[in-house]
Amino acid sequence: MILSQFQTIGRDLFARGLVSSHSGNLSIRLGDRIIITRRGSMLNCLQEHDLIETGISKNSRSTPLASTELPVHRAIYRETQALAIVHAHPPHAIALSMTETEIVLSGVEGLSEGTTVPVIGWNMEIKPGGLADMISQALKQHRIIIVRGHGNFAIGQLLEEAYNFTTALEQSCQVQCLLRSLKVSPVEE
């Protein structure tokens, strides 16, 4: 059951172009344990060996196999009530993160108009597993954030919920990029 949840979200993230062949990661919290995707796994074709179980605070024998973003996932679980995390690399959201300090979502079903997504990591070195404290603090107030030039972290009670925030962010950013390419401003109602 757990594997099928990871497979469904992983396949769809890849099919929508929100991760490349070996990027992105997923995790769920089970008490004081985490199940997280393996370092370098292909989210579009996850198998049982691609799911690594380790502690939120303690390492296990399999911890070295976990995603390089494990420190971020651990920090998020320690600081929030999240039970699931999706980390993706949505291209339009990443493009806007290079010029904006926050992204205002509009025209996205399921999210209130004007929801803001903070862009963090300005003037900082961004590397996998980095900015864990900053990301986890931002996710105390938001369901999704984006790390400048890198990708998003979304939280939820289920992987599907965190996935929904990820797709909503990318859909809104795609529309904003299209409007900018047409040099058109949204019409106020």
Please, are residues 175 and 26 in contact by the beta-carbon 8 Å criterion?
no
pLDDT along the chain (189 residues), means of 10: 96 97 97 97 97 95 95 97 98 97 79 82 81 95 95 97 95 92 72
Q: Two tokens at 40?
A: 């370098």
Please, what are the domains in the chain?
2-181 (3.40.225.10)
The model scores a pTM over 0.85: yes
pLDDT at residue number 187: 64
Under 8 Å between Cβ of 13 and 43: yes
Nearest to 18 by CA among 170, 155, 172, 145: 170
For residue 183, the model assigns a pLDDT of 82
* CA separation for the pair 4, 8 (Å, rounded): 6
